[in-house]
Amino acid sequence: MRFDLHIHTTASDGAWTPDQVVAGARDGGLDVIAITDHDTTAGVLPAIEAARGTDVRVVPGTELSSTWKGREVHVLGLGIDPVAPVILAHRDRARRIRLERMERMVGALEREEAIAVRFEDVLAQAGADPEIVGRPHLARVLVAQGHARDLPEAFDRFIGNHRPAFVPTALQEPSDAVRTVLEAGGVPIWAHPPMDLLSRLLPELVDAGLQGLEVHRPETRPSHARRLKNAANKQGLLTSGGSDWHDLGRNRSLGHFWVGQAKIEPLIERLGIDVG
């Protein structure tokens, strides 16, 4: 079976609606996908509904933002209850804080780079009633206005981590994100762990209840994957993997990257996924 346990939709900063993601996963030969939008589960139930009658199975999830010493740290919540009160409360708080953050980033672009971007244009990229506003929405405006050739350049030059207009999300501490996932009945996984933070932050997250590391990703170097797997084994953690799919501009089509069942068998069992 082919798994992709890290996919975004238009509920946060992905390019495809939940039903389009399910169709893309089916066309790409994926068997099990996780909908893991940033700080919201709004795309989960529509994706589950879209998957009815197909061979694609949908794992409910989210990707919670947090900040540690000024660095972005993301925690996946796999197998969560998408309407758990703690998740809905987090979504409402995240929506407000992300809007405030985006206003600051727009201001930083004008102040640091003399680039005038209208906040309204960023909101328009996120949709008529945006659930979550993120950096990819701003990146698309920068590309549309000719300030960057594509989304990767927009991040590399202006809004990526430590770039002139970057502002941390500052929603919570990583340990709080782990506890939120646990309270929602899910499996907390550290998403794309930065190598320089692994040994420094991992003990704190394990103490908070972290259950796994995201090891298998299309961009991860083999040496880094080995280090992550060794760390997971040492701490008794599960391993996970996914494409972190957002759009065709940054990623290839759904199904181009997948994780085999054998690589994440313990996680599959923990999530209660029937692979028979």
**Using one digit for the tens of pLDDT, what is the confidence trace for 88-106?**
999 999 989 989 999 999 9
21, pLDDT greater than 90? yes
Q: Which two tokens stand for residue 231?
A: 């760390």
Question: For residues 44 and 63, what is the distance between their CA atoms, to the nearest angstrom?
Answer: 12
Identify the sign of the CA torsion 266, 267, 273, 276: negative
The DSSP secondary structure of 121-181, one letter per residue, reads HHHHHH-SS-S---HHHHHHHHHHTTS-SSHHHHIIIIISTTSTT--------HHHHHHHH
The total number of residues written for the chain in this structure: 276
Question: For residues 230 and 242, what is the distance between their CA atoms, to the nearest angstrom?
Answer: 19
Residues 100-131: tens digit of each pLDDT: 999 999 999 999 999 999 999 999 888 766 67
Question: For residues 238 and 77, what is the distance between their CA atoms, to the nearest angstrom?
Answer: 13
- The DSSP letter of residue 38 is B
Give the predicted TM-score (pTM) of the model: 0.88
- φ/ψ region of 79 (left if φ > 0, alpha if ψ in -120 to 50, else beta) reads left
Look-up: residue for tokens 């009658």?
53
